[in-house]
Homo-oligomer: A and B are copies of this chain.
Amino acid sequence: MRIKVDRDSKIALYIQIKNQIRDKIYSKVFPQNYILPSERELSDMIKVNRSTIIKAYQELKSEGLIASEVGKGTYVVYTDEIENNEKLHNFINRFYWDEIYSESSKQNYGDSISKIMKTDHGQRIISLSGGIPCPDSFPEEELKKIHMNLVENDMEKVFLHSPVDGYMPLKNEISNLLLNRGIKASPKEIMISSGSQQGLDLIVRTFINSGDVVLVEEPTFFAALQLFKTIGAKVIGVPIDNDGMRTDILKYLIDKHNPKCIYTIPTFQNPTGITMSMERRHELLNISSKYNVPIIEDDPYGELRYEGEDFPTLKALDRNNQVLYLSTFSKVIALGLRVGWIVAPEKVINKLSSLKQITDLHVNTLSQHTMYEFLKDGYYEKHVKRVKKEYLFKRNLMAMELQMDSLKECSFELPKGGYYIWYKVSNKLNSNSLIRRSVENGVNYMPGQLFYNKLGENNNYIRLNFTYPRREEIVERIKRLKDSIRQVR
């Protein structure tokens, strides 16, 4: 609604406003029942005293052109009847959106992540449930410097559009970074995505048909489970042990189900923290080659190793180009950046790009430039070293707190890296009672059943994140968690 007032005019402001609204009603720009802004809203919009608006509205009311009703507001009333207008009224508020959702969106259960993200930034949540880096370890000084520089010197450039597959200098830097992970990928084999979450979404939509079978580790990342189900895939879980995905069972499942692809988080798996052994890595690649089933390797945590030797990624060992590799800066730097990437054969990158272009065109330009500068200036390596030190401390702290006066029938394996402790609680406990009691006691975690293919299964595990909470919060919250377990018992 556009109302223009001319303060130099001899016509009183309230009359100017009244006339413009009246004209819009007569010309049917505002139709019958059209809801006008409230007096306060209109006064804010056109920066005119509220009493002026009240006067204008009063005039219009006395002319019978508008009326007010509690709950409805101020609306337009036609003095002469408009033909066939009754028909409309029969439909008011009768539009049933629930009945027309697509089949795929019905698969999209729950909104667990959404609830976690929906937090007030004013009061920092103290939660063990997220998968978020520690805000205190955020590389504030480095990013400040980079931003000041970009804003000073490249302002226009960082707001312009970018290529669909990503800003080339950033792709070059990522190509260098990948050498550390044993991956040789040219920039043409790299595509920037809005986090690795989008990378997975693009891959799923590009390769998977409704009805296709996807093999995943069980348990696995719940958003991946949801993505596969949303596209209509049949998800089948492959059990894991302390060496990662059970490749013996994998073979059997491939024979039986003829799957479209295998999804794996081989290093510091979400939620279990388990890392696939070298032997299993080779076996998995052999099986993938032999049966011609591609692998989606999701590697958000790989750089966060707190002890032992790094294993090469599957992509590093991939001589057949049978692995699509996903990674991100979200878990190492900050979630809000939304910068991740895909490594794939060039023709697959082109195919993924043609989907990305109609999905959201490209990743935010400023973020891409920021990450480029961050890598180029050598801040990345230093930052990773710093957060690893902090997360090692926090992992040990949480483990210590869990072990102290340890609870009967509760246990965990210490993960060698990553974000999570996968904590087994006594299976005599009712998991619903435990989560209710824990929330009452002010501690939040991810219930294990979210990570299973079939809801409700194996719910005697919970996922605890040790990177996001502050040190003192870890101590406090684990104490509360243990209290909750004792109380529910």
Which of A110-118, A238-246, A395-403, A427-435 participates in binding chain B?
A: A110-118
Instruction: Answer yes or no: A409 CB below 8 A from chain B CBs.
Output: no
Contacting residues of chain A (56-100) with chain B, CB-CB under 8 angstroms: 84, 87-88, 91-98, 100
Instruction: Answer yes or no: A447 CB below 8 A from chain B CBs.
Output: no
> Could you mark each residue 221-250 of chain A with 1 if its beta carbon is under 8 Å from any beta carbon of chain B, else 0?
001001100100000000000000000000
Instruction: Answer yes or no: A29 CB below 8 A from chain B CBs.
Output: yes
Cβ contacts under 8 Å, A30 to chain B: 182, 312
- Which B residue's beta carbon lies closest to that of A38? B184
Q: How far apart are A43's CB and chain B's nearest CB, in angstroms?
A: 12
- Contact of A160 with B361 in the complex, beta carbons under 8 Å: no
Cβ contacts under 8 Å, A227 to chain B: 358-359
Cβ contacts under 8 Å, A181 to chain B: 1
- Contact of A179 with B334 in the complex, beta carbons under 8 Å: no
- Contact of B135 with A358 in the complex, beta carbons under 8 Å: no
- Which B residue's beta carbon lies closest to that of A177? B45
Cβ contacts under 8 Å, A165 to chain B: 114, 118
- Contact of B336 with A365 in the complex, beta carbons under 8 Å: yes
Q: In the complex, which of the residues B114, B182, B201, B207 contacts A164, with contact meaning CB atoms closer than 8 Å?
A: B114
Q: How far apart are A337's CB and chain B's nearest CB, in angstroms?
A: 6
Cβ contacts under 8 Å, A311 to chain B: 29
* CB contact under 8 A between A362 and B117, given known A292-B95, A317-B31: yes
* CB contact under 8 A between A294 and B355, given known A1-B180, A119-B163: no
Q: How far apart are A296's CB and chain B's nearest CB, in angstroms?
A: 12
Q: In the complex, which of the residues B105, B290, B364 contacts A206, with contact meaning CB atoms closer than 8 Å?
A: B105
Instruction: Answer yes or no: A406 CB below 8 A from chain B CBs.
Output: no
Instruction: Answer yes or no: A408 CB below 8 A from chain B CBs.
Output: no
Which of A7-15, A319-327, A459-467 participates in binding chain B?
A: A319-327
- Contact of B201 with A319 in the complex, beta carbons under 8 Å: no
- Contact of B159 with A282 in the complex, beta carbons under 8 Å: no
CA distance A159 to B357 in the complex (A): 25
Cβ contacts under 8 Å, A148 to chain B: 148, 151
- Contact of B207 with A105 in the complex, beta carbons under 8 Å: yes
Q: How far apart are A30's CB and chain B's nearest CB, in angstroms?
A: 7
- Contact of B321 with A335 in the complex, beta carbons under 8 Å: no
A contacts with B, residue count (CB < 8 A): 126
- Contact of B114 with A353 in the complex, beta carbons under 8 Å: yes
- Contact of A319 with B92 in the complex, beta carbons under 8 Å: yes
- Contact of B162 with A117 in the complex, beta carbons under 8 Å: yes
Q: In the complex, which of the residues B92, B158, B347 contacts A320, with contact meaning CB atoms closer than 8 Å?
A: B92
Q: In the complex, which of the residues B195, B206, B289 contacts A361, with contact meaning CB atoms closer than 8 Å?
A: B195
- Contact of B197 with A358 in the complex, beta carbons under 8 Å: yes
Contacting residues of chain A (255-310) with chain B, CB-CB under 8 angstroms: 260, 278, 282, 286, 289-290, 292, 294, 309-310
Q: How far apart are A344's CB and chain B's nearest CB, in angstroms?
A: 8
- Contact of B121 with A157 in the complex, beta carbons under 8 Å: yes
Which of A137-145, A415-423, A449-457, A478-486 participates in binding chain B?
A: A137-145
Instruction: Answer yes or no: A35 CB below 8 A from chain B CBs.
Output: yes
- Contact of A289 with B197 in the complex, beta carbons under 8 Å: no
- Contact of A155 with B132 in the complex, beta carbons under 8 Å: no
- Which B residue's beta carbon lies closest to that of A146? B151
Instruction: Answer yes or no: A198 CB below 8 A from chain B CBs.
Output: yes
* CB contact under 8 A between A286 and B88, given known A95-B321, A197-B358, A362-B338: yes
- Contact of A102 with B205 in the complex, beta carbons under 8 Å: yes
- Contact of A364 with B367 in the complex, beta carbons under 8 Å: yes
* CB contact under 8 A between A117 and B27, given known A1-B182, A95-B321, A351-B101: no
Interface residues of A (CB under 8 A from B): 1-2, 27-31, 33-35, 37, 41, 44-45, 84, 87-88, 91-98, 100-105, 108, 110-111, 113-114, 117-119, 121, 132, 135, 138, 140, 143-144, 147-148, 151, 155-165, 176, 179-182, 184, 193-195, 197-198, 201, 205-210, 212, 223, 226-227, 230, 260, 278, 282, 286, 289-290, 292, 294, 309-312, 316-317, 319-322, 333-338, 345, 347-348, 350-351, 353-355, 357-367
A–B complex contacts, Cβ < 8 Å, 6 sampled: A29-B278, A45-B179, A91-B322, A111-B350, A223-B358, A336-B362
Q: Known A-B contacts: A201-B360, A336-B365, A364-B367. Give 4 more (CB < 8 A).
A: A91-B289, A102-B206, A138-B156, A364-B364
10 A-B pairs closest in CB distance: A336-B365, A161-B335, A159-B334, A198-B360, A194-B360, A364-B364, A91-B289, A159-B336, A105-B206, A118-B163
